[in-house]
Structure 1
Amino acid sequence: AAGVVGGFRGGGRAVCEAKRLGGCLDVVDGLFAGSYGVDLHEALSSGRMPLGHYTLLHVEGGAITCARDHLGCRPLFIGRRGGLLAVSNVPNVINMMGGSPEPVQPASILRINASGVSARPYWRPAPVRRCGEGGLANLLRDALLESVKLLVERRAGLFFSGGLDSSVLAKLCIDLGLEPVLIASGMPDARDWRNIREAADHLGAEVMEVEITQRDLENAVKELEHLLGRLPVMDAAIGSVFSIQARRLSEAGVRQAVAGQGADELFGGYMKYLRILEERGYGGLGEALAEDVFNLHRLGLPRDSLACKLAGVELALPYLLPTVAELGLGIPPELKLRRTGGDAVVRKYILRRVAESLGLGRIAHVEKSALQYGTGVSKAVARMMKLWGRS
């Protein structure tokens, strides 16, 4: 089998840092957390990988060695056509050569040579030490604070919805003395605008508001599908919001965007988890949450990362640094969907405890629609695709 490398949109800063450290990799795409004091060549050979969101790829002696970060926050795909193997962080590159792109598993190092493909994992979540509800909330708050310290630049954009996940990140940034540029977008009649403005007032922050037009959506979806192939309505809606906001940040000179991706899967934010709890109990809920976290790498995270990369903006996801995700995965599901008497269930209960400890007041208890619905974008994309002859 031969190896073909194509379609990589590398992260310029990361490439520069890798070279400065003497790890002159062929491709480095991503964001490394905190200190860059790591030899990336040594990391690839030893499996002691740095924290961050990245893909690494090295070609030497007729072999390709590549790796993906712990949760798959950066895209990496492999595909085969006959005896030819292709590796790319843009899945449509593999589609166009006649292959079928498959996501490389997160937390794994892949070696491709004439003998075929071999993979070895380098990380599995460790068990969380047992402690009470208050102790777990404190551990989670501290882990998120450290994640923001490690990942977030002083003047980063922050995708802000006025909901729990983004408000927690905004408050942590402000408490650390950072200067986040809060940005929110939606259709002119979106129902999220009120929540956004009220939450920003509570934080004492200003928000860059972007009203999305139909033309914005058309351009964003076409660009994304050029990289990812044809998208379902939901993915097109979410990806287009990220793309539009990232482009506006780029125009303002901001080169990093922070988002709350992963919080719903880690802490039980989606409405579907109520049904799973009812049908399968807490055991089944825990299994479903873990499955959703470990499936984020397949399309959701590549979609969001590439949407930002199109605008030259690097995406930082503090909830998906492995130190936070490991803790989130280990928190009992009873503290994620909390029964409060009768039929009432509070979603993301443990994260709401964190929000309370940060002084977020009513924001800690706000119930909000998913991004694609609260912004009004999902309906607009569905109408647009219908006009394109797609159901």
Structure 2
Amino acid sequence: MTLDGGDAETVRRAIETGDPLPGTDGFAGEVDGALVRGVLGRRPLFVDDADDESVANGEESWAFDPTELDSPRSLPAGTRRTPDGRETQVWTLPDPEPTTNHDAAVADLRTAIRESASHLPDGDIAVAFSGGVDSALVAALVDGPCYVVGFPDSHDVEAARTAADAMGVDLTVVELTHDAIERAVPEIVAATGRTNAMDVQISLPLYLVAERVAADGHTHLAVGQGADELFGGYAKVAKAPDDPRVEAETVRGAVREMVHSLPDQLERDVLSLRGASVEPVAPLLHDAVVEAALPLPGELLVDDAGTRKKALRLAAREWVPDSVADRDKKAVQYGSLASRELDRLARQAGYKRRMDDHVTQYVESLVSEE
């Protein structure tokens, strides 16, 4: 396979026109001898920086999987790289003016969600389901079996059960254990090349639910990735400009900051899921949905009452019960308790909180034992 996502003709047109959102769910690979990676980095692509001789000869060492290269470097999102090693930024994210017609904006978002659902891939698709609006909407679009992962007393397991009851969907609970975490950590590091605590904490529930999905015979796992970034799901966005974690002066500006963080996050998530032998499907990151999200005004991202992802919640009511559409949820590493329990394991192993980045040190110790 030389192109992951999209098709060669669509990508050629996107190169010629500079269209960053040509109607795909992301693409990366080789087209007409050059490497390309779409604007949001939804598909990972790596080049081998150690292979200077091949570049000099007009050849290229590259891969979708970084473990196949000696010195992998992620090709930046939106980039085209020619055989001589020259990289050009071909696509940048559009920055439209905010829409003033709120009803029309929500209607456009609903249309975009339907468009995304019409492009679901062939294959046996399961759904990563945590009971929040993002995964509930994906479950309604995909209509596949749902899986939630977490420790028995976790927020996500309880939320998923009540949402599944409200929606009448089939739910499988994948219970996390300390043994599973200790086994999975080195496998996640091997797949992603990352050992920092936050990346591993986020990857753990994704990886372990994907393992179960693959074991049950499913080839794809549908996820709600991108919704928090595109639609204003983070508390730090809602608090802009008063939260020091964002630089923007407005909620809308803070959302754009989050969208620009997607390439790095999606690379981690895709590699984690592929490491567990399933292919990710992210309906809320289809070009049509991204295009509908970008012009949303601040009031449809976070309303005056502090409700986050306002537009997405309004649009989702066409597919999910109001009680689910309006529900708040925690980030997966916290809602599943994966973060808490990885920290507990680190401390039990002697890596105390007074130590610098103690969880990362613990992760590195597990890898060194392999």
Do they fold alike, i.e. is TM over 0.5?
yes
User: When the two structures are superposed, what TM-score results if normalisation uses the length of structure 1?
Assistant: 0.78
The corresponding residue for 1:53 is: 26
Does 2:132 match 1:163?
A: yes
Q: Secondary structure at the match of 2:240?
A: helix
Once the two structures are TM-superposed, the CA of residue 235 in structure 1 deviates from its matched residue by 1.4
Q: Secondary structure at the match of 1:276?
A: coil
Say if 1:255 and 1:314, in contact at 8 Å, map to a contact too: yes
Say if 1:264 and 1:348, in contact at 8 Å, map to a contact too: yes
The corresponding residue for 2:316 is: 355
Q: 5 Å matches for 1:68-217?
A: 68-78=37-47, 80-81=49-50, 83=52, 87-91=62-66, 97=70, 99=71, 101-113=72-84, 116-122=85-91, 124-125=93-94, 127=96, 130=99, 132-153=101-122, 155-173=124-142, 179-217=143-181
What one-letter code is carried by the residue in structure 2 that aligns with 1:370? A
Q: 5 Å matches for 1:1-391?
A: 15=1, 27-28=2-3, 30-32=4-6, 39=9, 42=12, 46=16, 51-57=24-30, 65-78=34-47, 80-81=49-50, 83=52, 87-91=62-66, 97=70, 99=71, 101-113=72-84, 116-122=85-91, 124-125=93-94, 127=96, 130=99, 132-153=101-122, 155-173=124-142, 179-278=143-242, 283-298=249-264, 300-340=265-305, 345-386=306-347, 387=349, 389=351, 390=361
Q: Distance in 2 between matches of 1:41 and 1:156?
A: 26
Question: CA, structure 1 residues 74+39, in 2 after alignment: closer, same or farther (shift >3 Å)?
Answer: same
What one-letter code is carried by the residue in structure 1 that aligns with 2:212? R
The corresponding residue for 2:365 is: none
Question: CA, structure 1 residues 347+226, in 2 after alignment: closer, same or farther (shift >3 Å)?
Answer: same
Once the two structures are TM-superposed, the CA of residue 187 in structure 1 deviates from its matched residue by 1.3
Once the two structures are TM-superposed, the CA of residue 39 in structure 1 deviates from its matched residue by 4.0
Q: Secondary structure at the match of 2:204?
A: helix
User: When the two structures are superposed, what TM-score results if normalisation uses the length of structure 2?
Assistant: 0.82
Q: Distance in 2 between matches of 1:161 and 1:124?
A: 29
Question: CA, structure 1 residues 352+209, in 2 after alignment: closer, same or farther (shift >3 Å)?
Answer: same
Q: Distance in 2 between matches of 1:59 and 1:44?
A: 13
What one-letter code is carried by the residue in structure 1 that aligns with 2:29? L
Q: Distance in 1 between matches of 2:239 and 2:125?
A: 37
What one-letter code is carried by the residue in structure 1 that aligns with 2:253? E
Moved more, 277-286 or 156-165: 277-286
- The RMSD of aligned alpha carbons is 2.9
Q: Distance in 1 between matches of 2:350 and 2:274?
A: 26
Q: Distance in 1 between matches of 2:292 and 2:49?
A: 36
What one-letter code is carried by the residue in structure 2 that aligns with 1:366? R
What one-letter code is carried by the residue in structure 1 that aligns with 2:333? Q
The corresponding residue for 2:58 is: none
Calculate percent identity across the aligned residue pairs.
Answer: 28
Q: Over residues 317-340 of structure 1, what are the superposed CA-to-partner deviations in whole Å (9 max), with x where a residue is unaligned?
A: 111112211221211122101113
Q: Distance in 1 between matches of 2:256 and 2:78?
A: 15
* Runs (5+) with no aligned partner, structure 1: 1-14, 16-26, 174-178
Higher relative contact order (CA 8 A, sep 6+): 2
Once the two structures are TM-superposed, the CA of residue 43 in structure 1 deviates from its matched residue by 5.5
Moved more, 221-230 or 46-55: 46-55
What one-letter code is carried by the residue in structure 1 that aligns with 2:270? S
Q: Distance in 1 between matches of 2:42 and 2:180?
A: 25
Instruction: Give the number of the structure whose residues are more often strand, by fraction.
Output: 1
What one-letter code is carried by the residue in structure 1 that aligns with 2:130? S
* Runs (5+) with no aligned partner, structure 2: 56-60, 352-360, 363-370
Q: Secondary structure at the match of 1:192?
A: helix
Q: Distance in 1 between matches of 2:99 and 2:288?
A: 16
What one-letter code is carried by the residue in structure 2 that aligns with 1:51? T
The corresponding residue for 1:22 is: none
The corresponding residue for 1:11 is: none
